[in-house]
Amino acid sequence: MSEQTAIIHDIGYRHYDGPRLGRGSAARALAVHSLRGVFGLGRTTRAKIIPFLLVAIMLLPAVVSIAVMALVKQQGIGYTAYAVAMQAVLAIFLASQAPYLVAPDLRFRVLPLYLSRPVTVLDYVGAKLVAMTAALFLLLAVPLTLLYAGELLVDLPEPVHTREYIASMVAALIAAALLASVGLALASFTPRRGLGVASVIGFYLFTSGVSGVFFAALLASGHEAAAKWTLLINPFFLVDAVQVALFGTEPSNGEGYPSGPWPALILLAVIALALTGLIARYRKAASS
């Protein structure tokens, strides 16, 4: 009877001796990866079509406005009205990209791999929220900055609208945070990207439609004060109302909004509610 011997096979495994960067670096890497993915970077060519097409559409009014300023020496589209004027494009961008950030990990049940270590649920949600917020902010900030640069280069008879530009940039950040919170929360409740797209775009159509109908009905019946409150149902008018309250800019709707801190409080409440739902959804997914 022959004696059995053990054989050790070298499979090429090497112990990792590099730096262990921890939770912060893992969350930052996830946020950067997610932000690149929103614009289709590192993905297929087909994934780049919609985001870059929407970026071009967002830039088009700024380019046309600069041409108008150069030809007739008058300011074109206003900074503070840009987000409201382009709200449909922003809503389509949010609806098309928010499900990409949340649906695949839920559908293929890979969330436990992220949460094994050292990333927590809050780290994961925070990284996705930062990525979507940054993408929406860039979508607004780039054409606004281009428009401001054009105004600086074109010799207009009136002063440069620096204050309006700063106000619009702050409002762009607020709008990005609000839309990202609501969009990710809605998209996270279904692992199907198609249903996520439908839920986000349906939310925008519902809020804008209800806001417009109630505003027109109340204004026609003489209830102007109540009509202004209904405008806040639309998230873009809600952000515009906060912008008016903070910087005293002209309201984009031409009618005005309720005065006082109420628009800002409503906006904070909506963001808090959306984040609460988003975190609860991922905690449930992580435990299942």
Ramachandran quadrant class, 260 (left: phi over 0; alpha: psi -120 to 50; beta: rest) = left
* Confidence (pLDDT) at 9: 62
pLDDT tens track of the chain, all 288 residues? 455 666 666 666 667 677 777 888 989 999 999 999 999 999 999 999 999 999 999 999 999 999 988 888 788 788 999 999 999 999 999 999 999 999 888 888 888 888 777 889 999 999 999 999 999 999 999 999 999 999 988 877 788 899 999 999 999 999 999 999 999 999 999 888 899 999 999 999 999 999 999 999 999 998 999 999 999 999 999 999 999 999 999 998 878 899 889 999 999 999 999 999 999 999 888 887
The residue type at 106: L
> Of 126, 236, 124, 233, nearest to 178 (Cα)?
236
Q: Report how many helices (DSSP H) and strands (DSSP E) the chain contains, helices first.
A: 11, 0
The first and second tokens of residue 239, run together, are 């952000």
- Using DSSP's 3-state secondary structure scheme, residue 1 falls into coil
Give 278's contacts (C-beta < 8 A, 6+ positions apart). 125, 129, 181, 184, 185, 188
Supply 251's token pair. Answer: 């309201």
In contact, 140 and 83? CB cutoff 8 Å: yes
Q: pTM (2 decimals)?
A: 0.91
* Separation CA 274–CA 180 (nearest Å): 9
Q: Which amino acid is at 96?
A: S
Contact 74, 154 (CB under 8 A): no
Tokens at 95, concatenated: 């609806």
**177-214 in b/e burial notation, b at 16+ Cβ within 10 A?**
bbbbbbbbbbbbebbebebbbbbbbebbeebbeebeeb
Give the closest residue to 100 by CA, choosing from 235, 215, 206, 200.
Answer: 200
Q: Report the Cα 148 to chain-centroid distance in Å.
A: 22
Provide the residue type at 7 as one letter.
I
Q: What is the pLDDT of residue 281?
A: 92
